[in-house]
């Protein structure tokens, strides 16, 4: 019995070779197009402890947006000086710790302006550097792009109504604090190269307009990755470098990238097994042990790239009929749990495997504890060896911190 026998579906698998490919692509693109750069990793995208530790060893900084994420990366050995603290809801204690340790912090809220004044007053002999998250009307620069939200972003300080300038002036009025960075993460559905040119152009415009001498420009995440039909880091950072050079000097100003999904999606698959084949009136349903809740909890996906591994020993391919329609469904009792239709193709049988490609970037963690809990996560090493990074959650995990004795 080899290790394969214990790999019960459903499970996610991270292929180290593919992960290495995208890590190398990012590092090379930053090196070739700017040089003076920090690669951060967006912890919210996938906070699997194995992955965070692996990326730390690869030299990545942790980009965190909550006290829970902060605590997690600290437990995994990240240093305060190598953390980028972002997000609309921060904790004052962590805010002070990061700034005191020389980590990066991008302010986003009204209360952080009060906190920085307090820190400046309480520690007058120290110099502090902060960044500000910029909110600008990206749609007015590129009306043809599909934005994440129609009415625009809700994060950061607004450029158009002058609130960004007020925030900059307030920080600059403190004797020992400087505006050292701008943070311009923007989510678009189209993830086009042109959008990053606009984002970089906005950094140039704001730095010029308010005469800022910046030690960094943080371009955030939101890139495509892991798809041969789409742009990759080489295209994005070429454009970013071209635009930023109009005003910034790589010897003085760093760029920060905070990729999430683009770094890991190529490397992750989700493997499921057909458990039952049902004929209901004139429809054929394949019931599998994976679910839409594992792959698409936010119901934003329109397609499920996949490949099929037929159990040829039990059901030889030449003995299988061609089926006009087979609907692949999940294990849940929800009617909506139907993934995709296989049209005019070989019939599937119990024991066949459906493997979803580029699946699980977000959903290894963004996975509801619904009916079943977190699936297992396996790592496929570069030498082919397998390693269990997260055992599937069961009721030992689910029952912890519950009290049902007083029912």
Ligand X SMILES: *Cc1c(COP(=O)(O)O)cnc(C)c1O
Centre a 10 Å sphere on the Cβ of residue 298 and count the other Cβ atoms it contains. Answer: 8
Q: Of 37, 94, 261, 267, which one interacts with ligand X (CB under 6 A)?
A: 261
Among 22, 258, 289, 352, interactor with ligand X by CB under 6 A: 258
Three-class DSSP category at 70: helix
Question: CA 262, CA 208: separation in Å to the nearest integer?
Answer: 31
For residues 226 and 330, which CB has a smaller minimum distance to ligand X in the complex?
A: 226
Distance CA 133, CA 218 (A): 9
Q: Tell me the two tokens of residue 307.
A: 């490949």
Of 9, 10, 16, 42, the residue at the interface with ligand X (CB under 6 A) is: 42
Smallest gap from residue 106 Cβ to ligand X (A):
8
Contact window for ligand X (CB under 6 A) among 68-76, 166-174, 215-223, 230-238? 215-223
Please state the separation of Cα 206 from the chain's center in Å. 27
Give the pair of three-digit tokens for residue 331.
């294990």
CB-wise, 106 or 372, nearer to ligand X?
Answer: 106
Cβ atoms of 122 and 95 within 8 Å: the answer is: no
Q: How many residues bind ligand X (CB under 6 A)?
A: 15
Q: How far is the CB of 221 from ligand X (least distance, A)?
A: 3
Q: Which of residues 128-187 bind ligand X (CB under 6 A)?
A: 185
Residues 6+ apart with CB under 8 A from 179: 130, 131, 132, 168, 171, 172, 212, 214
156, 197, 259, 360: which one binds ligand X (CB under 6 A): 259
* For ligand X, the closer CB: 220 or 241: 220
Residues 352-371 that bind ligand X (CB under 6 A): none
Q: Is 221 an interacting residue with respect to ligand X (CB under 6 A)?
A: yes
Nearer to ligand X, 148 or 369 (CB): 148
Q: Which stretch binds ligand X (CB under 6 A): 39-47, 124-132, 274-282, 383-391?
A: 39-47
Helix (H) or strand (E) holding 103: none
Taking the least distance from each CB to ligand X, the nearer of 261 and 328 is: 261
Query: Binder to ligand X among 9, 33, 47, 86 (CB under 6 A)?
Result: 86
- Least gap, CB of 282 to ligand X (angstroms): 41
Are 16 and 386 in contact by the 8 Å Cβ rule? The answer is no
What is the b/e burial string over 61-76, where b = at least 16 CB atoms within 10 angstroms of the residue's CB? Answer: bbbbbbeebbebbbeb
Told to check if 47 binds ligand X by CB under 6 A, we report: no
The residue among 131 and 260 lying less far from ligand X, judged by its C-beta, is 260
Residue closer to ligand X (CB basis): 120 or 262: 262
- The answer to whether the beta carbons of residues 147 and 188 sit under 8 Å apart is yes
According to DSSP, the residues that pair with 85 across neighbouring strands are 64, 105
Measured from the CB atom, the residue of 197 and 222 that comes closer to ligand X is 222
Phi, psi of 33 (to 5 degrees): -105, -15
Question: CA 112 to CA 120: how far, in whole Å?
Answer: 12
Task: Candidates 70-78, 141-149, 232-240, 254-262: pick the segment binding ligand X (CB under 6 A).
Answer: 254-262
Query: Structure tokens of 13?
Result: 């698998």
Q: Which residues make up the interface to ligand X (CB under 6 A)? A: 42, 44-45, 63, 86, 185, 220-223, 258-262
């Amino acid at each position: 019995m080899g290790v394969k026998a214990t790999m019960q579906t459903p499970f996610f698998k991270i292929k180290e070779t593919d992960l290495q490919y995208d890590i190398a692509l990012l590092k090379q693109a930053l090196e070739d197009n700017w040089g003076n750069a920090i690669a951060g990793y967006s912890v919210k995208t996938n906070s699997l402890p194995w992955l965070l530790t692996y990326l730390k060893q690869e030299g990545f900084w942790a980009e965190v947006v909550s006290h829970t994420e902060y605590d997690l990366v600290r437990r995994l050995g990240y240093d305060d000086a190598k953390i980028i603290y972002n997000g609309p809801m921060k904790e004052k204690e962590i805010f002070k710790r990061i700034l005191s340790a020389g980590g990066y912090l991008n302010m986003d809220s009204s209360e952080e302006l009060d906190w920085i004044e307090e820190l400046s007053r309480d520690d007058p002999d120290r110099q502090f550097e902060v960044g500000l998250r910029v909110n600008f009307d990206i749609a007015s620069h590129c009306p043809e792009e599909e934005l994440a939200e129609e009415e625009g972003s809700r994060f950061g300080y607004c450029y158009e109504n002058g609130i960004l300038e007020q925030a900059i002036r307030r920080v600059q009025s403190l004797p020992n604090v400087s505006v050292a960075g701008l943070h311009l993460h923007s989510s678009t559905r189209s993830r086009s190269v042109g959008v990053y040119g606009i984002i970089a152009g906005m950094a140039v415009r704001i730095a010029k307009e308010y005469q800022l001498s910046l030690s960094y420009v943080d371009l955030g995440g939101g890139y495509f990755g892991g798809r041969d039909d789409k742009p990759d880091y080489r295209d994005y950072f070429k454009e970013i470098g071209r635009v930023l050079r109009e005003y910034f000097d790589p010897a003085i100003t760093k760029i920060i990238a905070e990729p999430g999904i683009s770094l890991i999606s190529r490397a992750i698959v989700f493997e499921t097994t057909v458990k039952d084949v049902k004929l209901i009136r004139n429809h054929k349903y394949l019931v599998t042990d994976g679910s839409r809740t594992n792959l698409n909890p936010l119901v934003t996906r329109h397609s499920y790239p996949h490949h099929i591994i037929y159990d040829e020993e039990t059901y030889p391919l030449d003995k299988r009929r061609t089926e006009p329609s087979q609907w692949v469904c999940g294990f849940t009792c929800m009617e909506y749990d139907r993934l995709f239709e296989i049209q005019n193709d070989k019939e599937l049988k119990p024991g066949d495997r459906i493997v979803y490609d580029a699946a699980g970037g977000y959903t290894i963690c963004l996975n509801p504890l619904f009916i079943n809990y977190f699936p297992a996560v396996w790592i496929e090493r570069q030498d082919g060896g397998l390693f269990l990074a997260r055992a599937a959650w069961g009721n030992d995990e689910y029952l912890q911190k519950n009290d049902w004795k007083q029912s």
